[in-house]
Structure 1
Amino acid sequence: MSGELEPDPARMRVSDAQRHEVAEILREAAGDGRIDLGELDERLEATFAAKTYAELAPITSDLTPVVAPAPSAPAIRSPQPARSTERRVAIMSGFKRSGTWTVPEHLTVLCVMGGADLDLRQATYAADEVVITVNAIMGGASIVVGPHTRVILEGTGIMGDYSGPSGLVAAELDDTSPTVRVRGVAIWGGVSVERKHG
């Protein structure tokens, strides 16, 4: 009908998956140092209380435009190469990867009073450079790499520690060496990278 009003996209309800997507962006921003822990707490609280796009979109508007008001018509996405992304959570529990496995291009692990053990010595990599984001809150993570893996450590410790790569094995790097970029934040916890023989 001609007099019928179009629904306001900004008033449309958001899903739990969209809230978790925003929460992950906030955690990565805290790990990168773009927001501090006070802002992280405030924005996470607002994220999980948000019911509509109008409430959710402003939370990351100064970080990354991840959430936008829902379009009134389906959006047409331009074809892009698929990015390999994996998210894992260890809350009062553990997460372990070892042996033969594929490290995705982006791996995010959240440890809350829990731990993660990632052994990359026999792993293959989805890209020449992979990013492992570990946010440890009263928890910890251990990452083991072989001598041929280049490690860039960008994590931040707040009453906690990000350390490595340590170990008795010297790095043996060349032009074919994969790069593992480790980032995130450790609050009352620790994240360590150790170099060992395979």
Structure 2
Amino acid sequence: MAGELTPGAAPGAGDPTRLRISDAERHQVAELLREAAGEGRLDLDELDQRLEATYAARTYADLVPITLDLPSHPQHLRPAAPPTTAPATPRAVSADVVPGPERESHFAIMSGLSRKGLWVVPRHLTILALMGGAELDLRRAKFAADEVTITINAFMGGAQVIVGPHTRVRMEGTGIMGGYSGPSGLVEGHLDETSPVVRIKGVAIWGGVSVERKHL
């Protein structure tokens, strides 16, 4: 009869997004929401609504809309510099920094996204990989600022980021049944005060984000 389960089959079999989540995973998402509210990204009403939805969630698919528009980590306040009579030495400007866009968003939904060759990485780049994949090759890229942030949210998808020896990488992603890794590779970094900084943030649920360092 229609609607009956095949003998021996579990509900959601074959679709990982329908698998049940644990209390620990609900707490992880709740902590992300509280950090976002502390940054001013959510007001108190939105926080209450999303927390209620988080603790009512049963599957990984239920968590996707709750955190889809949020980065994974707050920008922590930096301690104030100690008083000094001498002016601070300005950071050397990299030749890789050129005028470019403030922010861009791209989507790989059951499809692929590729950026390589000569292109300009905006100050804030957001990628959503939903059952899809993204490849970002930064080896020949220019940057719209000496520090850029790439937020990659991967849900049953993945992303690979390739950087050259001169790029400094800071990984700040959160994995829930997924992971963030890198930078890996056999190429050592050759970093100095002019090296552009790439912060990689986001949430990976049943997905992965990796960074690999390669020769130019």
Superposed CA deviations along residues 42-76 of structure 1, whole A, max 9, x for unmatched, are 7947x9xxxxxxxxxxxxxxx9xxxxxxxxxxxxx
Question: What is the CA-CA distance between 1:143 and the residue it aligns to?
Answer: 0.1
Q: CA separation of 1:136/1:152 partners in 2, compared to 1, >3 Å: closer, same or farther?
A: same
**Which residues in structure 2 correspond to 1:13-162 (within 5 Å)?**
33-35=32-34, 38=54, 41=62, 44=65, 84-162=102-180
Partner Cα distance (1:175, 1:156) in 2: 28
Superposed CA deviations along residues 96-140 of structure 1, whole A, max 9, x for unmatched, are 000000000000000000000000000000000000000000000
Partner secondary structure for residue 194 of structure 1:
strand
TM-score normalised to structure 1 length: 0.62
Q: CA separation of 1:42/1:98 partners in 2, compared to 1, >3 Å: closer, same or farther?
A: closer
Question: What is the CA-CA distance between 1:83 and the residue it aligns to?
Answer: 6.2
Partner secondary structure for residue 147 of structure 1:
coil
Residue 182 (structure 1) aligned with residue 200 (structure 2): yes
- Superposed CA RMSD in Å reads 2.7
Partner Cα distance (1:43, 1:188) in 2: 11
Amino acid in the other structure paired with 1:169: V
Question: What is the CA-CA distance between 1:150 and the residue it aligns to?
Answer: 0.2
Amino acid in the other structure paired with 1:144: I
**Unaligned 5+ residue runs, structure 2?**
1-28, 35-50, 69-73, 75-99
Is the 8 Å Cα contact of residues 64 and 155 (structure 2) preserved in structure 1?
no
**What count of residue pairs does the alignment treat as equivalent?**
134
**Unaligned 5+ residue runs, structure 1?**
1-29, 48-62, 64-81
Partner secondary structure for residue 185 of structure 1:
strand
Q: CA separation of 1:121/1:42 partners in 2, compared to 1, >3 Å: closer, same or farther?
A: closer
Partner Cα distance (2:106, 2:173) in 1: 18
Partner Cα distance (1:166, 1:181) in 2: 15
Partner secondary structure for residue 54 of structure 2:
helix
TM-score normalised to structure 2 length: 0.57
Partner Cα distance (1:43, 1:191) in 2: 17
Partner Cα distance (1:195, 1:120) in 2: 10
